[in-house]
Amino acid sequence: MKRLTWLLPSSQVVLVCLLAAQGAGAEVLKWRTDGVQREALVLAPSKADESGKAPVVFAFHGHGGDMQQAADAGLQNFWPEAVVVCMQGLPTKIYVDPAGLEPGWQQEPGQNGDRDLKFFDAVLATLRSKFAVDERRIYATGFSNGGIFAYLLWGTRAKTFAAFASVAGEIFPGVHLAEPKPLLQVAGEADDVVPFAKQLRSIQVARKLNGSTGKGEECGPHCTIYRSSKGAPVETYIHPGGHVWPLEAPAVIVKFLRSYVRAQ
């Protein structure tokens, strides 16, 4: 049975890894939450932001992936002023393969004692002590199971974030979004792991909450933006492929995220 993994077309893997290798130096930090050692790969900014403060982007790997894969996606190459944080998941059962235990993330509140939400809180607390974090520019993105976790953070930690980007993710039934936030959803029409129809339903949920119910406007190849009456637009990047992290995703994600600053 297929599982959620951080997938790239084979022709793109080398290029993306080469791009990531040019990014900022990475440091592995460790935490202990609920008696379990956790770790994350933290990439410091390679360039100072003109504000004197650093935006923070949390990037979550898919089921079966790891923090290095999240770093290899190369977000830092498109936003050198940002702190990019790639947390490592623990063995986790997911709906696609309930018998399989691979590194991943909880999908709904209360699962696994909320160990991943607690881990997130611990990581953010450390970042605040280590960097001059811009509290109005904190973001979350992820692929597949990581994109599902980004939606969970929206449902449970909305006040922390300025915007979200989910790649091949969906909103789970136990996740209740209550606060409008800008969203980018990257989806493949041929996705048979997180079915395209489920991703479309998640987009509709976000559009309704955000007041983005009008006609969409083209914003580039595969891209549509739905303007918001609440200052929280929904943007979609819908490609013809399957359950993959497209090569262009990092540039698309960073362009979207850096457009939004959380209100005071």
Q: Where are the domains of the chain?
A: 10-257
Q: How far apart are CA 258 and CA 27, in angstroms?
A: 23
- Quick one: CATH architecture of 10-257? 3-Layer(aba) Sandwich (3.40)
pLDDT per position as a tens digit, 217-238: 999 999 999 999 999 999 999 9
Three-class DSSP labels, 197-263: HHHHHHHHHHHHHHCCCCCCEEEECCEEEECCCCCCCEEEEEECCCCCCCCCHHHHHHHHHCCCCCC
- Mean pLDDT across the chain: 90
- In the block, tokens 């998941």 appear at 89
pTM confidence score: 0.91
pLDDT score for 96 = 61
69 phi, psi to nearest 5 deg: -60, -40
pLDDT per position as a tens digit, 20-49: 434 447 899 999 999 999 999 999 999 999
